Amino acid sequence: MNSQNYISVSAEPVKVVKFGGSSLADAEHFRMVKDIVTAESSRRFVVPSAPGKRFNGDDKVTDLFYKCYEVSDDRTALKEVFERVKERYELIIQGLGLSLNLSAEYESILSAISHHAGRDYAASRGEYLNGIILAHLLGYDFIDAAKVIRFAEDGSFDSETTNEILGKELAKHDRAVIPGFYGSMPNGTVKTFSRGGSDITGSIVARAVNACLYENWTDVTGFLTADPRIITNPRKIDVITYRELRELSYMGATVLHEDAIFPVRFAGIPINIRNTNAPKESGTMIVASADPSAPTPTITGIAGKTGFSVLNIEKDMMNAELGFGRKVLEVIEECGVAFEHLPSGIDTMSVIMNTHDIEKCRQKIIDGICHEVEPEFISIEDDLALIAVVGRGMVKSKGTAARLFKACAAADINIRMIDQGSSELNIIIGVDAGDFARAQNAIYKEFVG
Ligand code: ASP
């Protein structure tokens, strides 16, 4: 049954709003969050993270909870760390002037952690307690995520069971806060997503209520066209498609948890990245497909990653040797290594892998391949950086690759590898790690200005 059937009939479309840790780090930010939520009555379902850092060098509450777990056998150390957690929440409660007493919650969490309730349970309490406070402040119902977000026996997220249970539960609430980051296993124990996983919860809730929009409120103005550590003041992306986002995230552009895309993409719900500290700004809209009549820049964004190695293999008549590629990839697979790219020629084959992944099995890969396919030449070269130039505006547009290579040549950068997917949505180039920043600057200047 479609989740749409569960949600109470409402004249107004529903929005799901998720706030990151920095948006809920202290009482002042909680007030800003309240202003945002109450500014639009469609913002009916709210997903909070745990309190983040208030200043450089501060602790994230989730990290403090992980610490609690680590020292759980040492009663004094546990109490000491837990006091710091309590202090964070008490400062928020007092700062907001709320009459909310969490003593019983603190007691039961401390006792559970000291009785080995588990690492995920400990980590999840950051969102759990923040959810209680936020629900109190907003006057919204509180729904414990352990009751509505389900994982399967093998630890993977159980999307269909969750959608069913969550849809039914949310239909009973006009307005509610659902803490992010965690859910439960079939036996009831708490399990978390990976770090930054509150983004995923927001997306799951948006799907379950068939929201018209999933607003993800954070501390940046949106997705940027390039990494601000490499390009000075890069322009913001106004509209990006899910597929473009996936390409850029893979290359390390991080604003949103990668897995947060799937539930809403499946349901065709757009995501709007917004800045809690600048709520008037429109942020970045992530959509299934962009309006084709709207002006589209050639390049939506540039992202890159260092730390790659390339395995080069040469053998005459390789293309005619049945199973050559499979045998090579099997050796790599048997070493437990995933490959990233596979640019190949007629008698040459290159396999790009993360340097970190092959650290312990470099020789085993070489020996295995020599044994399986008897190449004439084989080597592994390190210090490769990959740069992805991504844009729906590149599809069927002529001259993009020429401009890209010309810009690199003018900056005296040697391109070691080229990979263009058949989607034409991206061109990936490999350059020496030493040319990484210069190449991105040259490409940015050519396409963005
Ligand atoms: N609090 C969790 C973390 O720090 C999850 C999140 O913030 O999304 O990773």
**Atom 2 of ligand 1: nearest residue by CA position:** 196
Ligand 1 centroid–CA 124 distance in Å is 9
Ligand 1 centroid–CA 195 distance in Å is 5
Pocket test for ligand 1, best of 128, 195, 204 (most atoms within 8 A of CB): 195
* 3-class SS string, the chain: CCHHHCCCCCCCCCEEEEECHHHHCCHHHHHHHHHHHHHCCCEEEEEECCCCCCCCCCCCHHHHHHHHHHCCCCHHHHHHHHHHHHHHHHHHHHHHCCCCCCHHHHHHHHHHHHCCCCHHHHHHHHHHHHHHHHHHHHCCEECCHHHHCEECCCCCECHHHHHHHHHHHHCCCCCEECCCCEEECCCCCEEECCCCCHHHHHHHHHHHCCCCEEEEEECCCCCECCCCCCCCCCCECCEEEHHHHHHHHHCCCCCCCHHHHHHHHHHCCCEEEEECCCCCCCCEEEECCCCCCCCCCCCCEEEEEEEEEEEEEECCCHHHCCCHHHHHHHHHHHCCCCCCECCECCCEEEEEEEHHHHCCCHHHHHHHHHHHHCCCEEEEEEEEEEEEEECHHHCCCCCHHHHHHHHHHHCCCCEEEEEECCCCCEEEEEEEHHHHHHHHHHHHHHHCC
Task: Flag whether pLDDT at 6 surpasses 60.
Answer: no
User: Which atom of ligand 1 approaches the CA of 49 most closely?
Assistant: 7
Task: Flag whether pLDDT at 144 surpasses 90.
Answer: yes
**Domains of the chain, residue spans:** 15-287, 301-447
Tell me what the pLDDT averaged over the chain comes to.
Answer: 93
Average pLDDT over residues 86-114: 97
For 238-266, how does the pLDDT look when each residue is reduced to its tens digit (9 = 90+)? 999 998 998 888 887 778 888 898 899 88
pLDDT at 11: 52
- Residues framing ligand 1 (Cβ under 6 A): 21, 49-50, 60, 62, 126, 180-181, 195-199
* CATH fold for domain 15-287: Carbamate kinase (3.40.1160)
Task: Flag whether pLDDT at 351 surpasses 70.
Answer: yes
Ligand 1 centroid–CA 63 distance in Å is 9
Pocket test for ligand 1, best of 23, 127, 203, 217 (most atoms within 8 A of CB): 127
pTM of the model: 0.86
Q: CATH top-level class for 301-447? A: alpha beta
